[in-house]
Copies of this chain bind each other. A is one copy, B any other.
């Protein structure tokens, strides 16, 4: 029998890779990074422990890749054409899309928030992460400047913090959190 073709293998690898990352994301976000065991991830992904190491060289690398790919995905979504000015509706659109992502990518954001506040875990991703976050902040500042904010840098910090804080509170108790009315209030406050 002929061996698998390279394409077949590539597909298998890509599928498995995603399965593992999905399983890990679910557990990391549900149980926390430290409380999630490689064993648990493997079981949820329905593979053997050993195979996981065929795809990711360590638990740390697995986390790193999940975070980095997640951030990049988000960045791609966030990119706004650097047009002359940013209208009110642009701002509203941005706020809407951030809130939308909060629920549609809940697990990723829970994991991400939790990574940020655990010094030991943050260190794992910090190398790659620092640069990316700087970029995001800059972009938001630029965005706010073009939308006419009098102090875009401070507003970027405030808005960034606000989003982080809302995620945080939302994730602690998703069912009980009035996401919709909070979103509306945010619009009232920041879009004039």
A interface, CB within 8 angstroms of B: 29-32, 34-35, 110, 113-114, 116-122, 151, 153-155, 157-158, 160-166, 168-169, 171-172, 177-178, 181-182, 184-186, 189
Say whether chain A's binding surface is mostly helix, strand, loop, or mixed.
Answer: helix
Complex CA distance for A184 and B154, rounded to whole angstroms: 9
4 A-B pairs with the lowest CB-CB distances in the bound complex, closest first: A165-B165, A161-B165, A32-B120, A164-B165
Q: How far is the CB of A174 from chain B (nearest CB, A)?
A: 12
User: Which residues of chain B come closer than 8 Å to A31, judged between CB atoms?
Assistant: 119-120
Show 30 residue pairs from A and B whose CB-CB distance is below 8 angstroms, ordered by the A residue: A29-B119, A30-B119, A32-B34, A32-B119, A34-B34, A34-B35, A34-B120, A113-B168, A114-B114, A114-B118, A116-B117, A116-B168, A116-B172, A117-B118, A151-B185, A154-B185, A157-B166, A157-B169, A157-B177, A157-B181, A157-B182, A158-B185, A158-B186, A161-B165, A161-B166, A161-B168, A162-B165, A163-B165, A164-B165, A165-B166
Complex CA distance for A165 and B155, rounded to whole angstroms: 13
- Look across to chain B and name the residue whose beta carbon is closest to the beta carbon of A130: B173
Given contacts A162-B165, A165-B164, contact A117 B171 (CB under 8 A): yes
- Look across to chain B and name the residue whose beta carbon is closest to the beta carbon of A151: B185
Complex CA distance for A41 and B34, rounded to whole angstroms: 19
- Look across to chain B and name the residue whose beta carbon is closest to the beta carbon of A126: B172
Contact A121 B164 (CB under 8 A): no
B34, B157, B178: the one contacting A157 at CB < 8 Å is: B178
User: Which residues of chain B come closer than 8 Å to A162, judged between CB atoms?
Assistant: 158, 161-162, 165
